[in-house]
Structure 1
Amino acid sequence: MAMVKMVEDGAAPKEVQAVFDDIKATRKSDWINNFWKVLASSPATLQRIWSNVKQVMAPGAIDPLTKEMLYIAVSVTNNCEYCIHSHTAAAKAKGMTDEMFAELLAVVGLANETNRLANGYRIPVDEQFIPKLD
């Protein structure tokens, strides 16, 4: 259950509806998901986060599927059920297969384990791994 009242599409204040309309247009969708409806309880937060999402998730040097898979990896590590579901759906829509998802989770699990080992042992970083800045 949400901690605040969700703002519904079509019944939102003007500034919120403008963001909702942009979300639908950008995503070529006819609905607003619960994440945005909850954030709409704070119009400034809604506008800021949507602006950040549009910028970061836009086409760039990293392809859209890889961005979604990175989002899944972080969401799994942070245990965000909502983001795991929403970004897995988005990644599948962009071509992620069940085999890719399984391999992604294997990498996430391995990285979390080895990160904890490296942190626990306080392993010094090899000089060769540190970038030489000119």
Structure 2
Amino acid sequence: MSVATPTTLATRFKLVPYAEASPEVKAIYDETMRDMGVPFVLNWFKCQGSNPTLLRGNWAKLKSTMLLGQVPFILKQLIIYNISKTKGCQYCAHAHGTIADSLSKTLTGDDSIKLTQNLQSDYIPSSYKVALGIITRAALDPQSITEADFDELRDEGYADEEILELMALADLTNMINTIADLSGIRIDNELMETK
């Protein structure tokens, strides 16, 4: 029996384009585009467009965990990228890798350097590397996280509020990976053009 890979799956959930969305879903789509700063609706949202209740809840979780809070946005994107790549979620690794690489200049001072190509780069601060390792492990095996991991994050300068925010990224990434993989969504054409 052969196992389908994410690149060979057909989309299992109808992608609801903006023009066909209900007024309630259009309002959520508008929020996602505005708050994420993208001029199009991502396939990840469109595959949930037939269920406004689910879409609203998942958007609220994604927004509060990824877009708000104290942890730097670039670190959040690197963490989501790293977990997604490690788990083999092609859609999320590509999408969040694109975002992280578009922000690389904030750490490198150079538009041509892509941090996702070397997460051990000297451009990435030690505190980011520690968080990347611990939060990726938390997403893959939450029972493996110990008090020593929390202490290590504190030693790197993270406050407890930030540590909670970092740990929430493990949960968020597992959710977004699951929806992307189960739905069989393809990488958005607009994101393909940026890689």
Scaled to the shorter chain, the TM-score interval is 0.7 to 0.9
- Which of the residues 64, 68, 85 maps onto 2:73? 64
CA contact (8 A) 2:77 2:100 kept: yes
2:116 maps to 1:101: yes
- Which of the residues 28, 38, 63 maps onto 1:29? 38
How do 1:47-58 residues align onto structure 2 when only pairs under 5 Å count?
Answer: 47-58=56-67
2:12 maps to 1:12: no
Moved more, 9-18 or 62-71: 9-18
How do 1:86-125 residues align onto structure 2 when only pairs under 5 Å count?
Answer: 86-95=95-104, 97-98=113-114, 100-104=115-119
Distance 2:90 2:64 in 1: 23
2:20 aligns to what SS in structure 1? coil
Normalised to the residue count of structure 1, the TM-score between the two structures is 0.73
- The letter for the 2-side match of 1:102 is Q
Structure 2, unmatched stretches of 5+, are 1-9, 106-112, 122-128, 152-195
Distance 1:10 1:37 in 2: 11
1:122 aligns with: none
- Which of the residues 148, 159, 172 maps onto 1:129? 148
Deviation of 1:24 (Å): 1.3
Distance 1:8 1:54 in 2: 21
Distance 1:103 1:35 in 2: 26
Structure 1, unmatched stretches of 5+, are 120-124
- The letter for the 1-side match of 2:51 is S
Deviation of 1:59 (Å): 4.0
Deviation of 1:90 (Å): 0.8
Distance 1:81 1:34 in 2: 13
Percent identity for Structure 1 against Structure 2: 23
- The structure, 1 or 2, with the larger RCO (C-alpha pairs under 8 Å, 6+ apart) is 2
1:39 aligns to what SS in structure 2? coil
Q: Deviations over 1:78-126 (max 9, x none)?
A: 210000110011111222632x22322898xxx6xxx7xxx9xxxxx8x
Distance 2:116 2:51 in 1: 34
Aligned residues: 117
- Which of the residues 79, 83, 89 maps onto 1:80? 89
1:5 aligns to what SS in structure 2? coil
